Amino acid sequence: MGNSKNHIFIIGMMGSGKSSIAQLLSTKYNIPYIDTDKDLVEIMGAEIQGIFKSLTKKKFYHLESTYFLEHIKGKQHIYATGGGLVLNAANRKALKKFGTTLFLNASINTLFNRLSADSKNIRPLFSNGLSKMQIKKIWEERKKYYQQCSDIIIDTNNKSVSTIVDEIIPLLKS
Ligand code: S3P
């Protein structure tokens, strides 16, 4: 991995497993990882739901982008990004230019099951209730961006985190 393209960016829908994969890759490669959502929670001193409510969705994405575009100027990291990062054109450009981007793909059913199981972390986009229809709607708006931005696409359906990481490693080397 050369210098101008040195980060590893993990993108995908909410529930696609970005944080877990980023952590495991971080241990394997000994490269620090960051979870942009967690950093924003720390900076803002509020949970994502609270930030969404006080700032509105649009301003949350703007804040996320400002933080992301600034952070990537620093040393090499593995990034677990927020699912909405690809909505912003400047972010998409940065994903292409400054790193290798892994897209964790998952079916609507898989996302629904994973998000249902993650009841501690209710995403603000589902504050009115989690449904397959709502997941599908978000997916339809974003799928082209996830595909456009990615260097590597991994199918994560019915796979454990360690199986997914074992699939990723040889692909990152090539
Ligand atoms: C969002 C995804 C969330 C978080 C926010 C918005 C989205 O991150 O940034 O709730 O628009 O897809 P995760 O993908 O880590 O859940």
CA of 85 to the centre of ligand 1 (A): 8
95-135 per-position pLDDT tens digit = 999 999 999 999 999 999 999 999 888 899 998 899 999 99
43-76 per-position pLDDT tens digit = 999 999 999 989 989 999 999 999 999 999 999 9
Ligand 1: list residues with CB < 6 Å. Answer: 14, 18, 37, 48, 82-84, 123-125
Largest CA distance in the chain: 44
Which residues contact residue 45 at a Cβ distance below 8 angstroms, ignoring those fewer than 6 apart?
Answer: none
CA of 14 to the centre of ligand 1 (A): 6
Q: How far apart are CA 162 and CA 18, in angstroms?
A: 13
Nearest CA to ligand 1 atom 4: 82
